[in-house]
Amino acid sequence: MSYAAPVKDMLFCMKELAGLEALSRLPCFEDAGLDTAEAVLTEAGRFCAEVVEPLNADSDRHPPVWHNGDVTTSAGFKEAFSQFTAGGWQGLQHAVEFGGQGLPKTIGAACAEMLNSASVSFALCPLLTDGAIEALLTAGSADQQRFFLPKMIDGTWTGTMNLTEPQAGSDLAMVRTRAVPQGDGTYRISGQKIYITYGEHDMAENIVHLVLARTPDAPPGVKGISLFLCPKVLVNADGSLGERNDVYCASIEHKLGIKASPTAVLVFGDDKGAVGPGAVAQLIGEENRGLEYMFVMMNAARFSVGVQGIGVAERAYQRAVAYARDRVQSRPVDASLPAGTAIIHHPDVKRMLMRMRAHVEGCRALATVSAAAFDTAHHHPDAEVRRASQAFHEFTVPLVKGYGTEMSIEVTSVGVQVHGGMGYIEETGAAQHFRDARILTIYEGTTAIQANDLVGRKTSRDGGELARSIAQQIEVTEAALATRSSVAAKAVHRWLRVSRQAFTDVIDFIVAHARLRPTAAYAGSVPYLMLAGQLLAGWQLARALVIAEEQLAGGRGDPAFLKAKVATAHFYAEHILSTLPGLRDAIIDGADSVGGMSVESF
């Protein structure tokens, strides 16, 4: 079955939950109202369904090929990327002054979800370029921005992020790549980087590598890391391409999933280019502030990876629904039909499909609201509104990334289960979604790294002030639910209130233990992330229920769509929010048992 972009749900999230109309009243977004969003999303959905999605299965079977340092991407990718860039999709949410369209991240995130539903492997190339663009906008010099951003925004050149080394995974203090100043403002880089997404490919005429490295006199640890701009092909003073730089793709990885995305091992300074030994590079910003600058790119990428999770989960859900409608197997348990029926009529299949749908819609709503907070933080005229919006966005980034990707593994796994034995067969496509999703909880910071960030920077650092302020916002929704009389509203009110209390209990525990007993606070960091993520997603679905019921009562909107919104929120409350008190107990009461066994006993 073909992919159908969930445009109606995306527009509902933008309009009713994220306040797109308010965003469109900001000076920079005057043309970004609901009509624009609908037009952009409709065209993005068409492009993804007609151009990208048909490549997904075949590219999984026939991944890129490495030969003597060059990488040929899967059949159709180069042509599809050319159409992608010609349509202006790479520059959708980037600055107009450098050739972008300047649309809000709120709209851009929805388009990114569609691209990931169509093909996670294909979507990874523009994802990394987006992050590199953000880093250059933040810390690049005027010349770097002038020479590189227009070409990256129009897709002529792509971007990468070079952090990981064989001995330095998440611990960037161990980075050894060297950058030696040449006295003319340039540096020569030598070292090896691994796991570089689209580090080499044939879809663009140049690749702009952003590289973490150390200068000779740099202090040890993360304080001595600098960020460098190192193009595959050097750029002449007139903007034309010059000599091949000394950066070489030694190999590409063979992976469980995302097989069509070339994951490169890059060697800098092996004297294989035309410039002599050492890759020529420019310093971005100031020396020894590289990690600070790279975090701009990493945060953008982390949010985008969460959106990847939503995209692949949505595709898995659509595939599972289509299969469940067609697969005839067994009579209904209530004998309501005399013969076998489509499995979608069986209670447990309905439960699985509802769980998939509820997770996806909850995460989509949370990501949309987070993106709107980003847009507000960067463009609202009121400084206090900007500050509050930035704080909210930063709190939600580890949730979108952590919960959104863990959710994708569950949803794609359930999708295999809905298919039964056919889900384990590659031809149905369900297995590919499961395999593709598996990397999402790992790259751009594992779930534990997101959870440690949530505990340390986002919760304990300010004594839980920001987290508690979000809990207070949830209470406002509880009050709205309390005025409603439907069975669904009462159930959502009950479980939202209980879950919010579980959240505040954990906040109190973390604040009390983060300094005196850090092991206890961090032992439950991932369960806390899942609790917070599921709560905030459930909160958005609760808000959606209130709006849907009001529109139904007023005779507005599509009744079938709105009733489905109510049913999804109802299910989410009783099957997902209902588990959060158990997570609270595991975090608060189970900290000691995490470390109860000696290392030698494992």
Active site residues: 444
SS3 annotation, 22-87: HHCCCHHHCCCCHHHHHHHHHHHHHHHHHHHHHHHHHHHHCCCEEECCEEECCCCHHHHHHHHHHC
> How far apart (Å, rounded) are the C-alpha atoms in residues 104 and 32?
7
> How far apart (Å, rounded) are the C-alpha atoms in residues 589 and 16?
39
Secondary structure element (H or E) that encloses residue 435, with its range: helix 430-437
> How far apart (Å, rounded) are the C-alpha atoms in residues 573 and 125?
37
> How far apart (Å, rounded) are the C-alpha atoms in residues 374 and 393?
6
SS3 call for 252: strand
250 DSSP 8-state letter: E
Angle subtended at Cα 487 by Cα 483 and Cα 492, rounded to the nearest 5 degrees:
70
Q: Which amino acid is at 244?
A: R
Secondary structure element (H or E) that encloses residue 226, with its range: strand 226-231
Q: In the chain, how many H helices and how many E strands?
A: 20, 12
**Of 395, 409, 400, nearest in space to 365 by CA:** 400
Angle subtended at Cα 448 by Cα 446 and Cα 453, rounded to the nearest 5 degrees:
100
> How far apart (Å, rounded) are the C-alpha atoms in residues 224 and 206?
29
Q: Which amino acid is at 384?
A: E
Q: How many CB atoms are closer than 10 A to CB 266?
A: 27
Which distant-in-sequence residues (6+ apart) come within 8 Å of 596 by Cβ? none
Tokens of 434: 């499961």
> How far apart (Å, rounded) are the C-alpha atoms in residues 3 and 314?
9
Q: Which amino acid is at 36?
A: T
> How far apart (Å, rounded) are the C-alpha atoms in residues 208 and 230?
6
Residue 566 vs residues 173, 341, 532, 550: alpha-carbon distances, Å: 49, 27, 22, 11
The answer to whether 12 and 110 are in contact (CB under 8 A) is no
Q: What are the phi and psi torsion angles at 62 (to 5°)?
A: -130, 80
> How far apart (Å, rounded) are the C-alpha atoms in residues 583 and 530?
8
> How far apart (Å, rounded) are the C-alpha atoms in residues 128 and 159?
6
> How far apart (Å, rounded) are the C-alpha atoms in residues 41 and 44?
5
**Of 301, 248, 303, 254, nearest in space to 274 by CA:** 248
Q: How many CB atoms are closer than 10 A to CB 126?
A: 25
SS3 call for 574: helix
Angle subtended at Cα 433 by Cα 202 and Cα 359, rounded to the nearest 5 degrees:
125
